[in-house]
Amino acid sequence: MAAVGAVVGLGNADFSDLREIKKQLLSVAERSRERGLQHSGKWASELAFALEPLLLSELPPPPVLTEEDARDLDAYTLAKSYFDLKEYDRAAYFLRGCKSQKAYFLYMYSRYLSGEKKKDDETVDSLGPLEKGQVKNEALRELRVELSKKHKAQELDGFGLYLYGVVLRKLDLAKEAIDVFVEATHVLPLHWGAWLELCNLITDKEMLKFLSLPDTWMKEFFLAHIYTELQLIEEALQKYQSLIDAGFSKSTYIISQIAVAYHNIRDIDKALSIFNELRKQDPYRIENMDTFSNLLYVRSMKPELSYLAHNLCEIDKYRVETCCVIGNYYSLRSQHEKAALYFQRALKLNPRYLGAWTLMGHEYMEMKNTSAAIQAYRHAIEVNKRDYRAWYGLGQTYEILKMPFYCLYYYRRAHQLRPNDSRMLVALGECYEKLNQLVEAKKCYWRAYAVGDVEKMALVKLAKLHEQLNESEQAAQCYIKYIQDIYSCGEIVEHLEVSTAFRYLAQYYFKCKLWDEASACAQKCCSFNDVSSCIIPGVLPEGSLTLMLATLGVDGSLIE
């Protein structure tokens, strides 16, 4: 497999026959629904809808029934009706002894979902979402034993392998789960659920490099998704653009993923524009609307966020995304208790919903409840170890608790996930400063500036560090670069640290006997509110200082 950073286009994937691809999607959508895999069925259906309609003669034929399918048909039909009503134990009871692949999968899947439902009920009713502790799905071990026997006997089809992988992942057997999911993608490459589960287990691009994946057009969707998850946004956007060019320009799934990718690199205007377009194409969509609300929150767009919250409530107020959007709305209004309540509601609906754990951690931070924030962030990491926001949030909480070694560990983890995010680097630099590791701190601040300083503070912090170490020339260079950046990007010149920069440069130029430069910097400094900070004994020659003070309307004589 090619190196992750070098991917352009669609590799060896064949998208020449889109009508055949549509037939495959319609077929796997139906097979997924027959097995109760609603999300996989929906994904395939949405992708198929983005392609041109097929003629009657081109529609996929119904699946061929085996003798075992015929024998199990009555039990399967009855059990599937119970399954659809979420009566999982009842469905499993009537499927005992079934031998066909489809009925056997539904039997095992019903047992798995029954265990999950009981676990979630116990989590919510007995403990509450912040104290879920070690509640486990009691059915997992039995399912593993039975599926393992079938696997060794090579009696599992692609769907069975997918379920076996899910059970292994739930038992924290990640390596075995990855192997099984890879096998599932080879046996049934059209099943999106197996690819998605594999995504959740890949922690870095090195793991991705060594996966032996099938050469199929589905791999391109997987790669685009995993690049987004691994914060390889440039590669992800290239993949999605190639998929659009290949014929999927009408796919709302691809459009939403592109919006999420721009959200991840904090290109807020671009992401907002794409989400607004997506809402026009699919006005009743709820998926990804919590991400859309995050963007509205960052932009402090209260009316738009209020409208989105009310709109989603009308569509389905008991979806986790809806609860998160309402939580963001209350958070923007500084009603943090109400916001936390809605994030808790989201977790009652789905205890494994990553966004709600992270957002709830943020709300507890706002309420100064650091212990609850730590719990929430830890739960977010349990759900997804790639969530840099949770690692960063833990760093912030331990910073508040004045525990710099813990703080450093968590910021390092966040930085590993977002190596080009200046916020992580600045946070690391501040930690190193507190630990008196000043060389490391300087490296972090300079790197933060080099990757594009979002908050425009890295150079100031680096300059102050040089000041502290009596490295006046380096400090002056940092302040000069900082002032140039502030002015060039068109920000309000009265930036918090600009007057500090001019003040230092006035002192520096005076010591270097560069009177004109010193005078210019002092006068610039005096144009800010904190004028007194510039009027320092001996900074400028007598005539220049008197002129500067006179300009301000101050009757000044030389300060001795």
Count of CB atoms situated within 10 Å of the CB of 486: 20
Sign of CA dihedral 243, 245, 247, 252: positive
| Interval 205-258: pLDDT, tens | 889 999 999 999 999 999 999 999 999 999 999 999 999 999 999 999 999 999
Cα atoms found within 13 Å of the Cα of residue 522, Cβ hemisphere only: 30
Instruction: Give the C-alpha distances (Å, rounded to integers) separating 516 from 49, 286, 521, 523, 526.
Output: 69, 61, 9, 11, 15
pTM given for the model: 0.85
CA–CA separation, 255 and 270 (whole Å): 12
CA–CA separation, 435 and 453 (whole Å): 23
Q: Which residues contact 513 (CB under 8 A, 6 or more apart)?
A: none
3-state SS, one letter per residue, for 299-329: CCCHHHHHHHHHHHHHHHCCCHHHHHHHHHH
Q: Give residue 131's pLDDT.
A: 52
64 falls in which pLDDT band (50, 70, 90)?
Answer: confident
Query: Quick one: how far is CA 262 from the chain centroid?
Result: 11
Least confident of 73-77, 134-138, 478-482, 492-496: 492-496
Instruction: Give the C-alpha distances (Å, rounded to integers) separating 495 from 262, 375, 446, 492, 512.
Output: 27, 36, 20, 6, 26
Q: Give residue 530's pLDDT.
A: 53
% the chain with pLDDT above 70: 88
Q: Average pLDDT for residues 27-38, to the nearest whole number?
A: 96
The pair phi, psi for residue 285, each rounded to 5°, is: -70, 135
Per the rule left: phi > 0, alpha: psi between -120 and 50, beta: everything else, 402 is left
CA–CA separation, 87 and 79 (whole Å): 9
| Interval 350-377: pLDDT, tens | 888 989 999 999 999 999 999 999 999 9
Q: Give residue 550's pLDDT.
A: 41
The pair phi, psi for residue 352, each rounded to 5°, is: -105, 20
Residue written as token pair 């140039």 = 484
> What is the C-alpha R_g of the chain?
29
For residue 171, what is the enclosing H or E element?
none
Provide the 8-state DSSP code for 54: P
Q: Give residue 10's pLDDT.
A: 59
Query: Quick one: how far is CA 386 from the chain centroid?
Result: 8
